[in-house]
Amino acid sequence: MSHVVIIAGSPSKRSRLTGLTDYSSQKLTEAGITVEVIHVVDLPAEDLVQARFDSSFIRDALAVVEAADAVIVATPVYKASYSGVLKLFLDLIPQEGLRGKLTLPLVIGGSIAHLLAIDYALKPVLAALGGRHILGGVYAVDQGIERLDDGKFVLSADVTTRLDRSLDELILTLEKDGITISQNQVSLLDKSI
């Protein structure tokens, strides 16, 4: 069974970004995929800021990423880039820590003006971490996600359609033999080269 981790890089769980991550988690779970969510905001701030690799919280979160077959990196756009909270966590992932994993960026912003933040801010960092199979990603505008009084979210038809398309690609790619290389296979490949 495939295992996906969602790294939620919003400084608030009430952010509309949670609408994207909740929807993604539900769809993947319905497809029989194990999903874990790391809300970076829940990790101790001191451990993140001081890069405490010996922190049990940081070690546990990094172990979840290491064990995953695919990683969804979700962030709001702030000042034309991904959030600082997400940056703190990504800086703790080891060099090549995304090697052999599918990655899917999910980004939300106040306007369409920051659409290219996926390609020019987030994807280069994912590639620097060893991500070689980075799916196109989804950029949503705040207005496409409605926050309800009960804390749940409703996605617009447009956002749902684009998110479904990306999640379906992720699911199909995980199901194909030989596309996703497990960490054990990466180690074996490294030794044979």
Res 177: pLDDT: 42
pTM of the complete model: 0.89
Res 71: pLDDT: 98
Instruction: Tell me how crowded residue 150 is: count the other CB atoms within 10 A of its CB.
Output: 6
Q: Residue 140: CB partners within 8 Å, gap ≥ 6?
A: 16, 20, 106, 107, 108, 109, 155, 159, 162, 163
Res 120: pLDDT: 92
Res 182: pLDDT: 41
Tokens of 187: 């180690």
Contact 25, 35 (CB under 8 A): yes
Closest CA to 140 of 118, 104, 109: 109
Q: Please state, in angstroms and rounded to a whole number, the distance separating the CA atoms of residues 23 and 167.
A: 10
Q: Which segments of 61-171 are extended strands (E)?
A: 70-78, 81-82, 102-109, 133-134, 138-141, 145-147, 153-155
Res 116: pLDDT: 86
Q: Please state, in angstroms and rounded to a whole number, the distance separating the CA atoms of residues 19 and 67.
A: 25
Q: Please state, in angstroms and rounded to a whole number, the distance separating the CA atoms of residues 120 and 118.
A: 6
pLDDT digits (tens, 9 = 90+) for 79-128: 889 999 999 999 999 999 999 999 999 999 998 888 888 999 999 999 99
Res 102: pLDDT: 95
What number of residues does the chain have? Answer: 193
Q: Please state, in angstroms and rounded to a whole number, the distance separating the CA atoms of residues 136 and 74.
A: 13
Res 77: pLDDT: 94
Walking along the chain (193 residues) 10 residues at a time, the average pLDDT comes out as 95 94 97 97 97 96 97 94 96 95 95 87 95 92 93 95 97 72 39 36
